[in-house]
Chains A and B, each alone.
Chain A
Amino acid sequence: AQTVTQSQPEMSVQEAETVTLSCTYDTSESDYYLFWYKQPPSRQMILVIRQEAYKQQNATENRFSVNFQKAAKSFSLKISDSQLGDAAMYFCAYRSGAGSYQLTFGKGTKLSVIP
C-alpha cells in the first residue's frame, strides 16, 4: 500500500517570504498523480496544485510551485511571497494511475504566516 509522509507537523513563515513544505511517498508504481490540498481554518479543503508523475516539468500555479523528484519520491510545495491567507493545513496526497480513485493523504502540515 502506498504511504505519504509529511515530516513537518507545523511550520511558520514571515509574510512575503518563501516557505517549502515537504512530502515524500512510497510506491512501486511508475504511473501516479500527486496533489497538494489546502484547508484554511473552518473552511473547505481546496486543491492547490497537482502533478502527473510522467511529466518531468514541475507544476506551477501563481505563487505555488512544486519540486517533484520522482527518483527520490519527493513532492515538496513551495509558496512564494507568503500571504496571511496562506495560513492553513496543507495535505499532500497520492493517487495511483492504475485505475483507483482513492486518494492517500499525508497527515498534514499546519502553516502559520507571521505578519
Chain B
Amino acid sequence: DVKVTQSSRYLVKRTGEKVFLECVQDMDHENMFWYRQDPGLGLRLIYFSYDVKMKEKGDIPEGYSVSREKKERFSLILESASTNQTSMYLCASSPAGLYNEQFFGPGTRLTVL
C-alpha cells in the first residue's frame, strides 16, 4: 500500500512563527504536492515538485515556500505564520504520468493564533 504520512495531525502556532510541515511518501513517487483545504473553497494547490530540488508554484504560493532535498520528503514552510494561514494542509504524491492518481496524506490542521 502506498503510504503518505504527515508529521503532525494538529498544530498550533503563534503569529510570526516559522512553521515546517513535513510529508513523507514510501512509494518512490516522482511528484509531490501541497494543498490547502478550506470549507467552501475545496482544495487549492500551493506548490508541487516533480523531482528532487525542483518545484513549481501552484495557485496560492504567497506566504509559503517548499523544500525537496530527498525524493521521499517534501516540506512546506510558512516563513512567518499569519492567522489567515489557519487551515487544513494536505500532502499528496503520485508517480509520473498524467493519468496516475494522487495519493493523499491524512492532513495537518494548522491553527495560527
Q: Could you tell me which A residues sit within 8 Å of B by CB distance? A: 9, 33, 35, 43-47, 50, 52, 91, 95-97, 99, 101-103, 105-108
Contacts and interface: CB of A to CB of B under 8 A. Distances in A.
Contacts of A99: 98
A35 B101 contact: yes
Given A99-B98, A101-B50, A91 B104 contact: no
Which size bracket describes the interface of B in this complex? 20 to 34
B104 A46 contact: yes
A105 B43 CA distance: 6
Q: Which of A43, A46, A97, A101 has the most CB of B within 10 A?
A: A101
A106 B37 CA distance: 11
Given A103-B43, A107-B41, 10 more contacts: A44-B4, A44-B104, A44-B106, A52-B99, A91-B42, A102-B45, A102-B58, A103-B102, A105-B42, A105-B44
A95 B98 contact: yes
Contacts, number: 46
Contact of B42 (A43, A96, A101, A107): A107
A82 B45 CA distance: 31
Nearest to B35: A105
Contact of A102 (B48, B105, B106): B48
Contact of B101 (A9, A43, A50): A50
